[in-house]
């Protein structure tokens, strides 16, 4: 069928009706709702938000923790963490820069944003002041370590309050 101008009905512009507008609005808001549901799901199922276990009890014991921190600082121990072959290695020195030997070094390592990869680490001391984690090499990506160093022989000469000698919290990046 042709019109007076010679154009066919197929060439005529399509009219947008109310049903078309309704379908576009429903499609638009369906996409928005689906994306929001996905964001909520991933926000709730990934990071638990817990940074410190037993935060309430640690808060109540603040003065004791403050005393522990003061005594740690008085020891003057220094340490650093680095990766050697994708395995964490801790180097420890005392106030004078001499290697700290005979320490008990433990750690917790995990991904910064998810706690399901958290695992404990134990260290051995192959050379003086150098402690190597006894673990398989880490997978690539970001890792957060919290390392506690304790004096196995109690060089501070005091009994009573068991103090950690040093606490190191550091982010590591493993690349392949």
Query: Domain of 109?
Result: 55-174
User: How far is residue 158 from each of residues 74, 94, 151, measured CA to CA in Å?
Assistant: 13, 18, 12
pLDDT in tens, 97-115: 889 888 888 899 998 888 7
- What does the mean pLDDT of the chain come to? 82
State residue 175's pLDDT score.
84
DSSP state for residue 16 in the 8-state scheme: P
- Under DSSP, is residue 49 helix (H, G, I), strand (E, B) or coil? coil
Percent of the chain with pLDDT over 90: 27
- For residue 129, pLDDT over 70 is answered with yes
Let me know if residue 8 belongs to a domain: no
State residue 144's pLDDT score.
92
- For residue 140, pLDDT over 50 is answered with yes
- Under DSSP, is residue 176 helix (H, G, I), strand (E, B) or coil? coil
φ/ψ (deg, to 5) at 150: -120, 145
- Residues 85-108: what's their mean pLDDT? 87
Percent of the chain with pLDDT over 70: 83
Let me know if residue 96 belongs to a domain: yes
Q: What's the total number of domains in the chain?
A: 2
- For residue 69, pLDDT over 90 is answered with no
List the CATH number of the domain containing 74. Answer: 2.60.40.1080
Query: Rounded to whole angstroms, how far apart are CA atoms 99 and 113?
Result: 34
Task: Please check whether residues 100 and 148 belong to one and the same domain.
Answer: yes
- Residues 58-66: what's their mean pLDDT? 80
- Residues 12-32: what's their mean pLDDT? 93
**What are the tokens at 123?**
């260290």
- 162 band by pLDDT with thresholds 50, 70 and 90: very low
Let me know if residue 67 belongs to a domain: yes
Overall residue count recorded for the chain in this entry: 176
State residue 126's pLDDT score.
92
One-letter-per-residue 3-state SS of 101-113: CCEEEEEEEECCC
Query: Rounded to whole angstroms, how far apart are CA atoms 122 and 133?
Result: 6
- For residue 160, pLDDT over 50 is answered with no
Q: Are 125 and 103 in contact (CB under 8 A)?
A: yes
Instruction: Report the predicted TM-score, pTM, of the whole model to 2 decimal places.
Output: 0.60
- For residue 32, pLDDT over 60 is answered with yes
Task: Please check whether residues 124 and 78 belong to one and the same domain.
Answer: yes
Task: Please check whether residues 82 and 156 belong to one and the same domain.
Answer: yes
Task: Please check whether residues 72 and 137 belong to one and the same domain.
Answer: yes
């Amino acid at each position: 069928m042709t019109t007076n101008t010679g154009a066919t009905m197929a060439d005529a512009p399509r009219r947008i009706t109310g049903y078309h507008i309704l379908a576009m609005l429903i499609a638009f808001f369906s996409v928005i709702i689906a994306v929001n549901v996905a964001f909520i799901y991933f926000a709730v199922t990934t990071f638990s938000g817990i940074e410190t276990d037993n935060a309430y009890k640690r808060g109540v014991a603040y003065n004791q923790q403050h005393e522990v921190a003061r005594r740690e600082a008085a020891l003057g121990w220094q340490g650093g963490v680095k990766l050697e072959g994708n395995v964490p290695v801790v180097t420890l020195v005392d106030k004078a820069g001499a290697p700290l030997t005979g320490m008990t070094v433990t750690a917790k390592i995990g991904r910064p944003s998810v706690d399901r990869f958290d695992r404990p680490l134990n260290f051995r001391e192959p050379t003086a002041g150098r402690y190597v984690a006894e673990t398989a090499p880490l997978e690539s990506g970001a890792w957060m370590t919290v390392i506690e160093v304790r004096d196995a022989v109690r060089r501070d000469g005091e009994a009573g309050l068991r103090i950690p000698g040093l606490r190191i919290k550091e982010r590591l990046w493993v690349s392949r």
